[in-house]
Structure 1
Amino acid sequence: MKISNCMTTNVQITDPEQTLQDVALMMGRLDTGILPVGENDRLVGMITDRDIAIRGVAEGRGPKTKVRDVMSTDVKYCFEDEDVEDVLHNMGDLRVRRLPVLSRKKRLVGIISLGDLAMKGSAKETGKALGGISQRGGAHSQTAH
């Protein structure tokens, strides 16, 4: 099965110049904990509720802090035409629960979550990915910065 068959396609994008308060309100309204950050029609980062808490509030940054000051810029992604099993394996290795999904022209077309994959992917592969994701540390650990 391809990622395009199970990804979320209705994805909202934020701007790196928006404030943490704006993004937190947006996340609450959308009932999500992650937003892609786009600039000049390109994906330039991702911001999570955890980024706001750990890189924002915990470091004494206020609600008017810009998204670009706390977002992750080393964005890992997958392509919409990749196989679910390959992406699950990659998510486990990267220790991430969500990935932006790009077209081969590198345009954002969706987001895939471990939950999306659990619903439509292989239970065995989803379990392996969760095992990898649940390991401490990794490139996207908040304490690795």
Structure 2
Amino acid sequence: MRVSDAMTREVYVADPEETVQQAAMAMAGIDVGVLPVRENDRLVGMITDRDIAIRGVAEGRGLGAKVRDVMTREVIYCFEDQDVEDVTRNMGDIQVRRLPVVNREKRLVGILSLGDLALTDGNGRAGDALRMISRPGGEHTQTG
């Protein structure tokens, strides 16, 4: 199965000049915890509810802080024509629950989440990835 068969195609995209409050309101409105950030038709980052809490609130930035100031700039992505099994394994290895999906011209075409995988892939790969993601440590850990 290809990523394009499992991904969500309708993706709300944040602008780096939006405020974190606008991004948080968009997340609440569509019930997601992450938004890709696009500038000049290019993916320039990702903003998560965690980015808002840690880089925004915990560091004393107000509601008017820009998405650019709290987003994660290093964007890890997958291609729409990649094999789901390979991408799922990679998600577990790098401990992420969702990845933006781009075409070969590196234009955003969707997002792939563990939820998408659980709904479309009957092979249990989403659970395997979640076990890897949930292991202690890694780049995104909250502990030392």
SS at match of 1:73: coil
| Cα separation, partners in 2 of 1:97 and 1:21, compared to 1, 3 Å | same
Q: Does 1:136 align with 2:131?
A: no
Deviations 1:34-90 (A, max 9, x none): 100011110000001111111111111110011111100111100000111011000
* Count of aligned positions: 144
- Map of 1:38 onto structure 2: 38
SS at match of 2:111: strand
Q: CA deviation at 1:121?
A: 1.8
- Distance (whole Å) between structure 1 residues aligned to residue 30 and residue 127 of structure 2: 27
- Distance (whole Å) between structure 1 residues aligned to residue 55 and residue 123 of structure 2: 34
- Distance (whole Å) between structure 2 residues aligned to residue 35 and residue 22 of structure 1: 11
TM-score (norm 1): 0.93
Q: CA deviation at 1:124?
A: 3.5
- Map of 1:123 onto structure 2: 123
- Map of 1:92 onto structure 2: 92
- Map of 1:18 onto structure 2: 18
- Alignment of structure 1 residues 2-81 onto 2, 5 Å: 2-81=2-81
| Cα separation, partners in 2 of 1:70 and 1:62, compared to 1, 3 Å | same
Taking only aligned residues, the RMSD between alpha carbons, in angstroms, comes to: 1.5
**Preserved contact between residue 117 and residue 125 of structure 2 (Cα < 8 Å):** no
SS at match of 2:35: strand
- Distance (whole Å) between structure 1 residues aligned to residue 32 and residue 115 of structure 2: 13
For structure 1, which segment, 125-134 or 100-109, has the greater mean C-alpha deviation from structure 2 after superposition? 125-134
- Distance (whole Å) between structure 2 residues aligned to residue 143 and residue 44 of structure 1: 27
For structure 1, which segment, 12-21 or 124-133, has the greater mean C-alpha deviation from structure 2 after superposition? 124-133
Give percent identity, aligned residues only.
Answer: 63
Which 5+ residue runs of structure 1 have no aligned equivalent? none
SS at match of 1:14: coil
SS at match of 2:100: strand
Q: CA deviation at 1:143?
A: 6.1
- Alignment of structure 1 residues 102-113 onto 2, 5 Å: 102-113=102-113
For structure 1, which segment, 120-129 or 53-62, has the greater mean C-alpha deviation from structure 2 after superposition? 120-129
Which 5+ residue runs of structure 2 have no aligned equivalent? none
- Distance (whole Å) between structure 2 residues aligned to residue 124 and residue 29 of structure 1: 30
